[in-house]
Structures are given as structure tokens and as C-alpha cells.
A and B are shown apart, each in its own frame.
Chain A
Amino acid sequence: MKRLCLAIMAALMVGVLSLPAQEKVPLIVFGGQTKDFGNVTEGETLKHIFRFANKGTATLEIIKVEPS
């Protein structure tokens, strides 16, 4: 019985050690990705702030912000 327990524990240890280390990745989450201003008057300058968070485990890098 003792041997069986030791064998099970050994197997569990091997299993845990053989698990791949969890990769750290960033995760970008925006509060909203679309802003609809509705009806506006010509000549107005529209401004909006898109807020985002990094919900991941690594540093998030914003490589480029480009209007199209």
C-alpha cells in the first residue's frame, strides 16, 4: 500500500513538473470600440476617448495607431 501511494505521488509530481510553464501574454480589452455621435452640426470637431485595459499577464504594447 505504501508503495502504491509513493508511486501515485511520484506520478503526480512528474505530471506537474512536465506541465508547460504558462506563457505570459497581454490582453487588450476596450470599453467600447464604436462611438456613434448621432446627429451633429457641420463645423463641430468631435472628440472621443477610447479607454482600454491590459487584462493580461504581460506588458501590452501599442505598436501603431493609424486612422484609415
Chain B
Amino acid sequence: MLSARQVEPGKSGEIEVSVKTEGVNALSKTINVTTNDPRQPLVTLTVKAVVQPEFAYEKSIYFGSVPKGTEVTKEILITIPPDKPVKVLNAESTDQNVTVRIEPQPDSNGKKVKLVAVQKANAKDGYHFGTIIIKTTSTLTPELRISVRGMITAGQTN
């Protein structure tokens, strides 16, 4: 946002820059300012940042292809930087074939949480998928989402 298009000699102006940090690790944005200054007709402004996630975790779980009747357990560690005052609250799965629970890790002061996802032994045949939704206390990231999928093949017959 520009304060004024014309600036008289001896006066000053402002250019306000706003940058979102979602979905990026390293941020470097440039803004080109074209002016009637014959010595600097083009001025380049740069905004830089190193973007760290509030919650570091794997974004997907694949249970593999297993015969019906087999329970499969997968674990994901969710890590929170020590300086972030946020916590993981709870988790639920939209996939009826998958149950999920949260296990805070001892001596981590809530900064490491294990998410345990279990593909049920009585899961229906075929491909299944869904999302694990994890609620947090963060206002920036109130929800974490992990996609889950798996394949149940016909069980072995005797």
C-alpha cells in the first residue's frame, strides 16, 4: 500500500508491505517500485524470513494393503518448538475404519506428542481414506490435518 503517488521535494512517503507465511519454508519477496527519478527509475524492495511451522509432523499416513482381519498401527510424532506456547488438545478421524489417540511424551512438557492411528481389524474390504483432525490451542493453527488411507484385501480363507 502506497501513502501517496506524488511526493513533493523534502517530503516523505511510505510503502506498506504485507506478506502471508502459509505453506512456505523460506520466504523472499521482492517489490518493484517504478519512479520518475532519472537516477533510480526502478527500486527493488525485499522482504525475507525463515518460516517455521508451529507443529512439525508428517502430513499423511498410509496403512498399506493388508488382508481383512489385520489391525495396523501407525504412529506420528508431533513436535512443537520450545518457545511456542501452544498445545495439542485432541484428535479424531473422519475415516470410520481408523481410530486415533494422542499420547503426550514424558519429560517433553507437552512439546512432543505421539499420535497413534489404528486401522481396525474389522475394517471393510476395499480402499478407505479420510482425515485425522487434531485440535490445538493455537490461534494460528487451530487444526492440524493428516490424511489417512489404506487398502483392505479379502481375508485369507482356510
Contact = CB atoms under 8 A, between A and B. Distances in A.
Contacts of A21: none
B59 to A, nearest CB: 13
B109 interface: no
A60 B36 contact: yes
B30 A68 contact: yes
A50 B31 CA distance: 11
Given A42-B52, A50-B15, A67 B31 contact: yes
A-B pairs, top 3 by smallest CB distance, nearest first, are A43-B140, A37-B49, A64-B34
Given A52-B13, A54-B10, A37 B32 contact: no
B37 interface: yes
B29 interface: yes
A62 interface: yes
Contacts of B44: 33
Main secondary structure, interface of B, reads strand
Interface residues of B, number: 51
Interface of B: 2, 4-24, 27, 29-40, 43-54, 84, 138, 140-141
A47 interface: yes
Given A43-B140, A44-B21, A68 B31 contact: yes
Nearest to A30: B43
14 contacts: A28-B35, A38-B49, A38-B50, A41-B140, A42-B52, A49-B15, A49-B16, A50-B31, A51-B13, A56-B37, A60-B6, A60-B35, A62-B35, A66-B31
A6 B35 CA distance: 48
Nearest to B11: A54
B48 A34 contact: yes
